[in-house]
């Protein structure tokens, strides 16, 4: 058996948790929702409370794409009951030169979806939220209970012996609630991680991703063809851009109504995000003069700063990429960062980190949602006794550590080195390796064997 396959039998501690638990999930984005869905499906019918800091009942949609990797698809196959298609498939990967000519092709099917479609399907499955994205499944009598509480910002946790006290703030006060198990699904700036490991820093990688979408029927036929059913890339010194089709409004997959999604990595040297260079500060200061540290929300970009990027796009990118960057109406900016927790369980296993709270991957890995989905599935398997606690820890930490390091390597090579195309192709192919085929390196598992 390879070191990444899941051993379901060898450990005698593999007997699961029989009693009904009170579980608090901190964070109601994709990781928190995947966890709530997997845990409410367990036979113990756990009582689950999601605490999400966002003040409104639904998270604000950034409207951008997600590559639905093996674990994301596997998660939906196992738990989703909305029964609607999730993704647009891309049949091949291709690389363009500066003139827009295809210089390399690889046949490979990949599935592309949108963050909002995944979010709304999960909300329908988890707490029966109606939307234009999908039909809500019929309630099951035998499942666990889920409460979704928005406007609850978790501020800290305290070990109470058998249980954990979770403190939260609300606009009109706050309080604490106790849980048998607390899941930190609160993203790359995790409060739960900070409570356990205040020394862990989220650091800037020296470049940003300019992101956006364009309706496929609003571009020239040549550009539409360049991105239809294809995952297309361009590399130049200090630049990487990629694009693919994603579902359109309300998750439609209808040809003509889908969106072309791009991710355009470009260097903005700066010692840190707290003391940004003049160029980075200009890019991250919005139309109202407010400085954003990590994400500039869609539609807020300062037109003067964005106009500079449109001009650079015309000079430096192949014509189809330049066209979509220049055509996007609501660009947003994401500073690329690195963060990873040293471990993922605390307070004798009563507190667990998952998804971006455990390890924030660089987007080149296209694995953030898959990590969240995998962490949710294997946590449910561990609680049910299908996987031992030791095996759960090994698989989740090895995945987090290996892919996080791979993302740093891929990003640094792409943005800060001048490599021949074969090297970029090799890195991209490595990032597509299914998790089940990974052989975790010794350094990633040494402390959990
Ligand atoms: C609104 C939103 C839009 C996104 N859009 C995209 C996209 O278009 N494409 C893409 O590739 N990725 C997107 N992401 C990131 C993507 O969801 C993650 O990279 C990945 O799916 C892992 O998810 P996560 O749940 O672990 O972390 P995140 O998605 O970062 O979620 C963390 C959640 O925890 C909440 N939270 C944080 N701190 C607290 C606290 N103290 N108390 C309570 N709640 C807290 C946050 O509000 C957030 O909802 C988006 C994330 C968000 C939050």
The tens digit of pLDDT for each residue in 263-306 reads 999 999 999 999 999 999 999 999 999 999 999 999 899 999 99
Residue at a domain's end among 289, 311, 337? 337
Q: How many domains are there within the chain? A: 2
CATH number at residue 258: 3.30.9.60
How far is the C-alpha of 295 from the C-alpha of 306, rounded, in Å?
15
Do both 248 and 119 map to the same domain? no
CA 378 to ligand 1 center in whole angstroms: 20
User: Same domain, yes or no, for 242 and 317?
Assistant: yes
Whether residue 230 sits in one domain with residue 166: no
397 close to 414: Cβ distance less than 8 angstroms? no
Choice from 28, 29, 295, 333 to test ligand 1 binding pocket (greatest atom count within 8 A of CB): 29
Cα 442 to ligand 1 centroid, rounded to whole Å: 30
Ligand 1 binding pocket includes 328 (Cβ within 6 Å): no
Choose one of 307, 322, 337: the last residue of a domain.
Answer: 337
pLDDT tens-digit map of 370-400: 999 999 999 999 999 999 999 999 999 999 9
- Do 98 and 144 lie in one domain? The reply is no
C-alpha torsion angle, residues 21, 23, 29, 33 (rounded to 10): 10
Structure tokens at 336: 């690329």
Q: Are residues 325 and 342 in the same domain?
A: no
Residues of the chain with pLDDT under 50: 1-13
- HSE, CB side, 13 Å, CA atoms: give it for residue 436: 5
Residue 360 Cβ inside 6 Å of ligand 1? The answer reads no
Per-residue confidence (pLDDT) for residue 14, from 0 to 100: 56
Provide the domain limits for residue 127.
22-85+115-202+338-413+433-448
β-pair type (88-96, 230-236) = parallel
Q: CATH number of the domain that 406 lies in? A: 3.50.50.60
* 14 occurs within a structural domain: no
Kindly state whether residue 8 falls inside one of the protein's structural domains. no
Per-residue pLDDT at 15: 65
15 within some domain: no
CB of 52 sitting under 6 A from ligand 1: yes
Q: 420 lies in a domain? A: no
- Identify the residue whose C-alpha is closest to ligand 1 atom 17: 30
Residue 121 CB: number of other CB atoms within 10 A?
25
The count of other CB atoms within 10 Å of the CB of residue 148 is 22
Considering 290, 318, 337, which residue would you say is the last residue of a domain? Answer: 337
309 C-beta closer than 6 A to ligand 1: no
Give the pLDDT score at 21.
96
Distance CA(214)–CA(436), nearest Å, equals: 35
Whether 249 and 372 share a structural domain = no
Q: Are residues 264 and 296 in the same domain?
A: yes
**Is 348 part of any domain?**
yes
Q: Are residues 307 and 293 in the same domain?
A: yes
Instruction: Determine if ligand 1 sits within 6 Å of the CB of residue 368.
Output: yes
Same domain, 95 and 121: no
Tell me if 246 CB under 6 Å of ligand 1: no
Same-domain pairing of 198 and 262: no
Tell me the C-alpha distance between 44 and 40, whole Å.
8
Residue 346 in any domain: the answer is yes
- Is 133 part of a structural domain of the chain? yes
pLDDT attached to residue 212:
96
7 falls within a domain? no
Residues 264 and 209 grouped into a single domain: yes
């Amino acid at each position: 058996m390879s070191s990444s396959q899941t051993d379901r039998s060898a450990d005698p501690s593999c007997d699961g948790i029989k009693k009904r638990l009170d579980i608090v999930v901190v964070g109601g984005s994709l990781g928190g929702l995947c966890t709530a869905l997997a845990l409410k499906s367990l036979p113990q019918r756990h009582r689950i409370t999601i605490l999400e800091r966002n003040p409104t009942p639904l998270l604000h949609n950034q409207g951008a794409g997600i590559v639905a990797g093996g674990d994301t698809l596997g998660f939906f196959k196992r738990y989703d009951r909305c029964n609607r298609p999730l993704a647009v498939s891309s049949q091949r990967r291709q690389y363009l030169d500066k003139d827009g000519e295809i210089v390399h092709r690889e046949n490979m099917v990949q599935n592309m979806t949108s963050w909002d479609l995944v979010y709304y399907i999960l909300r329908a499955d988890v707490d029966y939220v109606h939307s234009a994205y999908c039909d809500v499944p019929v309630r099951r009598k035998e499942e666990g209970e889920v409460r979704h509480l928005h406007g609850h910002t978790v501020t800290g946790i305290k070990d109470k012996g058998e249980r954990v006290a979770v403190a939260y703030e609300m606009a009109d006060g706050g309080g604490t609630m106790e849980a048998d198990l607390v899941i930190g699904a609160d993203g790359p700036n995790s409060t739960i991680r900070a409570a356990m490991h205040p020394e862990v820093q989220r650091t800037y990688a020296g470049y940003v991703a300019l992101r956006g979408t364009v309706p496929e029927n609003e571009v020239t036929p040549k550009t539409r063809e360049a991105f239809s059913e294809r995952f297309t890339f361009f590399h130049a010194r200090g630049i990487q851009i990629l694009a693919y089709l994603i579902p359109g409004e309300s998750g439609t997959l209808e040809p003509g109504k889908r969106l072309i999604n791009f991710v355009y990595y470009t260097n903005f040297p700066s010692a840190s995000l707290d003391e940004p260079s003049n160029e980075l500060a200009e890019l991250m200061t919005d139309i109202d003069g407010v400085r954003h540290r990590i994400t500039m929300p869609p539609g807020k970009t300062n037109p003067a700063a964005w106009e500079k990027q449109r001009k650079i796009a015309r000079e430096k990118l192949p014509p189809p990429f330049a066209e979509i960057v220049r055509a996007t109406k609501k660009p947003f900016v994401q500073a690329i960062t690195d963060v990873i927790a040293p471990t993922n369980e605390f307070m004798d296993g009563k507190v667990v980190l998952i998804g971006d709270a455990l390890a924030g991957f660089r987007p080149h890995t296209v694995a953030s949602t898959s990590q969240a989905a995998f962490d949710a599935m294997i946590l449910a398997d561990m609680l049910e006794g299908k996987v031992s606690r030791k095996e759960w820890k090994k698989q989740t930490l090895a995945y987090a550590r290996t892919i996080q390091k791979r993302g740093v390597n891929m990003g640094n090579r792409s943005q800060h080195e001048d490599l021949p195309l074969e090297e970029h192709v090799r890195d991209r192919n490595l990032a597509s390796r299914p998790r089940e085929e990974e052989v975790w390196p010794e350094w990633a598992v040494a402390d959990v064997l």
